Structure 1
Amino acid sequence: MRAHSIAIPFAFFLLLAGLVVATAAGAETPAAGPLELKPGRERAVVAVVALNAGTEVTDFLVPYSVLNQAGAAVMAVAPSSDPVAFWPAASVRPDADFAQFDTAYPQGADIVVVPAVHDPDDAALKAWLQAQAQKGALMVSICEGSFALAAAGLLDGKRATGHFYEHENRTETFPKVRWERNRRYVEDEGVISSSGVSASLPISLMLTERLAGRDRAAELAAAYGVADYGPKHNTDAFNIGMEEITTALKNIAFGWPRAHYLIEVWDGVDEVNMAFPLDFAARTWRGSSAAIAAKAEIRTRHGLTIIADETGEAPGGARLVRLPGAPASAAEAAVTLASPATLREDFLAFIGEELGDKTAQFVATQLEYPRR
């Protein structure tokens, strides 16, 4: 399964439905001090990498947002300047392609963040990641971004982790890597890897502590409702068994009418708040998600240009999802998510009310998200 779709951890379900849509844990990751920047820099340069053909939305948007709030100079970087297709919905215009970034920052990035991408074997991506590592960048993967780091040979001989469902596949595909379970993130010799999609917040907060100090990290953790962003994590609590398979097949075969969730976005929308509802809604297996805006392109809180899937008024039958801080609107929302600190729990509760608690739990399991 090395040629992944963005729904890589769940390819088994895709095949079942006919759709296209371990080792023991090692020692505790030691506490690390402030990140040492490249000579002459007053703030960190962070490249959040995307593959134009497909990139996981939460893996990408969460570190982009949080590390901006940590004071870093964050760039959305892709092989070409063409729009990046997010999975499951929306697109983004990169800030720079690889060549433009290299011209602007010949010393390389201080941190390179690698989300799950459509093709971790992409030649241009591998070459660029290898070059950044050779320039001394701290390489960080979110969820199955670890496949891209491993494909580039950057995890050979090192401890690493990734999404729980792909552990055996990773172990077989990349036997030189010491793959671990029951870790939120693992650091080894200049590379940090993390577990499921939901690890995007904890690992971004850990990096914030290194860039801006513990107080700033704690402030952002409280704002986004993260009680603990340390490396402890119980991978064994997550499982794709018969109950999950039954839920998926039942929703695919009998989940009618299909639910279409429109996540409302606007100029200034917070990237973290936008990402999780897009992701959660698409993983119910009986509906879809999309970004809707008043115009074709909007600029997020930290300057990303997002290309909306739909514009204007929500079509009849669609379920409009209103995010924290949304401008006043006459359109009726199916759910209003009032607080970034409770957004994930609130939206899962909404899914449970609409589609049943088993579906809400199935969504959380896919993202390796530990519900309270």
Structure 2
Amino acid sequence: MRAQTIAIPFAFFLLIGLMIAATAAGAATPDAARIDPKPGRERVVVAVTALNEGTEVTDFLVPYGILSEAGAEAVAVAPEAAPVSLWPAGQIRPDRDFAGFDAAFPQGADIVIVPAMIDPEDEAVRGWLKAQAAKGAIMVSICEGARVLAGTGLLDGRRATGHFYEHDSREDDFEAVRWQRNARYVVDGDRISSAGVSASLPVSLMLAERIAGRARAEELAARYGVSDWSAAHDSDAFGIGAGEMATALKNLILGWPRSNILVAVEDGVSEVDVAFPLDFAARSWRSSAGLLASAREVTTRNGLTLLADETGALPDGAYVVRLPGDDDAADATLGSSATLREDMLAWIETRFGGGTARFVAIQLEYPVRAD
């Protein structure tokens, strides 16, 4: 039987060619779709949400800092105007409570950041997030902020991700969500989610690119030592095995007296620079962490108020970690914003051993070298 020839208009090939060209130029990739402010605004408004009783420190500070540097108006928002306890260390004063944000921005935020929270079922948070989504905000969960967002129903039927350790638990608790492995972040329309704590940096850079363009995102990535902020990620490489459990138990039971690690901060400090050292320092299971400053309140580079834990004489036995550019005496001085994560882990290894440094990194889903 002879094959039949099907006539296809030349215009069809022209259309396909134009579509391919646009895709090659990046115009059709969902991650690159531009985020513009709502009508009447000059800047994209980003509500970085916190629960007063406890909010993960890196999940909160990194997007606040990166998106502010990208030209957005970042606003720290909490149910109450009282201080927010960051977990596992630190405190901030929110810019507005929920009611104050709603009064200032009746159209709602353009982007809402949802970090991991001590109580992912808080009804005030859930209700406010649903109201923001109804006003058209792009909802972005960081790490186990995915559990907070999933609890609102806003991820039902969507693809999403979160911290590697909680994957099976999330599947059991939120069966309507299409949970994904092996992705640093997942974009599903106006719902975006990221993997473990350290994924706050690449997902924030992806959002920065959509707000301010590729060139600005590349500048920020270079500053903070990120060569690739794509969604590519191998979460299967992470796990809490026998070695990590042994380290955790040894540090928990035998790691006494506890070390006190203080990260020194001053006005103008980068939110991103503060986040990782403070988070790393508090996760060894044999040390506590806090902020050291000359005054109780410190204003960051982009206007966030940090609340110092220590302002007077240094407590006996405390270790002081100083951030890039701070040359005062210290037990550890981190070299640059681009290397401070590696520098901090190296100091933890020197002080507490390689097993503890690895255990700290795995908790943050941060890549570590093989033993």
Per the normalisation by structure 1, the TM-score is 0.90
Kept in 1, the 8 Å contact 2:31–2:187? The answer is no
Write out per-residue CA displacement over residues 90-114 of structure 1, whole angstroms, 9 at most, x where no aligned residue. Answer: 2111111111111111111000001
Kept in 1, the 8 Å contact 2:244–2:359? The answer is yes
Q: Which residue of structure 2 aligns with residue 104 of structure 1?
A: 104
Structure 2's unaligned 5+ residue stretches are 1-28
- Comparing 304-313 with 240-249, greater Cα deviation is found at 304-313
The answer as to 2:279 corresponding to 1:276 is no
Q: Which residue of structure 1 aligns with residue 156 of structure 2?
A: 156
CA separation in 1, counterparts of 2:254 and 2:90? Answer: 27
| Alignment-mate amino acid for residue 344 of structure 1 | R
Structure 1's unaligned 5+ residue stretches are 1-28
The answer as to 2:324 corresponding to 1:324 is yes
Q: Which residue of structure 2 aligns with residue 66 of structure 1?
A: 66
Q: Which runs of 4+ in 1 moved over 3 A?
A: none
User: How many matched pairs?
Assistant: 341
The answer as to 2:162 corresponding to 1:165 is no
RMSD: 1.1
| Alignment-mate amino acid for residue 216 of structure 2 | R
Q: Which residue of structure 2 aligns with residue 338 of structure 1?
A: 335
Q: Which residue of structure 2 aligns with residue 222 of structure 1?
A: 222
Q: Which residue of structure 2 aligns with residue 357 of structure 1?
A: 354
Kept in 1, the 8 Å contact 2:184–2:194? The answer is yes
Kept in 2, the 8 Å contact 1:115–1:145? The answer is yes
CA separation in 1, counterparts of 2:34 and 2:133? Answer: 19
Q: Which residue of structure 1 aligns with residue 245 of structure 2?
A: 245
**SS state at 2:247 partner:** helix
Q: Which residue of structure 1 aligns with residue 232 of structure 2?
A: 232
The answer as to 2:224 corresponding to 1:199 is no
Q: Which residue of structure 2 aligns with residue 3 of structure 1?
A: none
| Alignment-mate amino acid for residue 267 of structure 1 | D
Write out per-residue CA displacement over residues 168-221 of structure 1, whole angstroms, 9 at most, x where no aligned residue. Answer: 110000011011110000011310000000011101100000000000000100
Relative distance call for 1:95 and 1:255 in structure 2 (3 A) is same
Q: Which residue of structure 2 aligns with residue 90 of structure 1?
A: 90
The Cα of 1:371 is off from its aligned counterpart by 2.9
Kept in 2, the 8 Å contact 1:352–1:360? The answer is yes
Q: Percent identity?
A: 63
| Alignment-mate amino acid for residue 208 of structure 1 | A
The Cα of 1:283 is off from its aligned counterpart by 0.7
The Cα of 1:88 is off from its aligned counterpart by 1.7
- Comparing 307-316 with 118-127, greater Cα deviation is found at 307-316
CA separation in 2, counterparts of 1:231 and 1:277? Answer: 24
CA separation in 1, counterparts of 2:151 and 2:137? Answer: 17
Q: Which residue of structure 2 aligns with residue 5 of structure 1?
A: none
Kept in 2, the 8 Å contact 1:345–1:371? The answer is no
The Cα of 1:42 is off from its aligned counterpart by 2.0
